[in-house]
Amino acid sequence: MSSNNNTSAAPGTESRTGVGRFGIAHAVVVTAFPLAGSALAVTGMPVADVLQLLGGCGGIGAGVVLIITGGRKAVVAIAQGVLNANAK
């Protein structure tokens, strides 16, 4: 009896929809952040404020993705690190 648990019909026919694949959602984010930053800078917002705003938005987005994908331990560790750094 084989201990191979591969349920694929044939070698090389595995689904390519797994984590790590670059898709349209990634392309939109990679395009939207520089466009939003450029638009804010052109309208007169200081560059430091633009970077802070977009960095905060990116951080929130990354945190949500970590929580949704089951990275709660990583989120807790990062939050504790931030709180400890601010306490000093």
Domain boundaries, the chain: 24-87
Of 76 and 9, the structure prediction assigns the larger pLDDT to 76
Residues 41, 47: contact at Cβ < 8 Å?
yes
> How many whole angstroms separate alpha carbon 29 and alpha carbon 46?
22
Quote the pLDDT of residue 58: 83
Of 57, 62, 56, nearest to 75 by C-alpha is 62
39 φψ region: left (φ > 0), alpha (ψ -120 to 50), beta (else): alpha
Max avg pLDDT among 5-19, 28-42, 57-71: 28-42
